[in-house]
Each structure stands twice: as structure tokens, then as C-alpha cells.
Amino acid sequence: MNKLLVIIGVVVGIFSLVVIMSLIQSIPVYFLWNWLMPTIFNLPNITFLQAIGISLLSNFLFNSQYNNKHEN
């Protein structure tokens, strides 16, 4: 039973770390988008949730780990 609790704790800890890192990574996307894009390209401001989505989407599209799987 203790082993199961340790495994659950590790899984919850890793998941929490991924969520926190995703939120931290989205802060620069949010501020840079709202500072640059409306002025340069006349695009609308985005919300923080949209910044999280853009950040996750760009990671999926441009992360070399995912791209290298399809090259071989």
C-alpha cells in the first residue's frame, strides 16, 4: 500500500510540475503578444488562457522531440 501511495504521489507531483511550468511559460507569450501583435499586425489582444493555448500549440508544432520522430 505504501508503494502505491508513493507512485501516486510521484505521478501527481510530475503532473503538477508540468502544469506549473506551462503556466510560467505562457506569461511571456501573453505579455509579448499583447505588446507587439496589436501594434505591428493590428491583431486583437489575447487572454491568459489563449496564451496558454498558443504556448502549448507552439510546443507541439515546433518541439524537436516530436519532429525527430517523423524524420526517420
Which residues in the chain come in under a pLDDT of 50? none
30: Cα within 13 Å, side-chain hemisphere: 13
The pLDDT value recorded for residue 68 is: 64
Helix, strand and coil percent figures for the chain, each rounded to 5: 90, 0, 10
The pLDDT value recorded for residue 69 is: 62
The pLDDT value recorded for residue 67 is: 60
Q: Please give the single-letter amino acid code of residue 14.
A: I
The pLDDT value recorded for residue 70 is: 58
- Phi, psi (deg, nearest 5) at residue 61: -80, -40
The pLDDT value recorded for residue 36 is: 96
The pLDDT value recorded for residue 29 is: 95
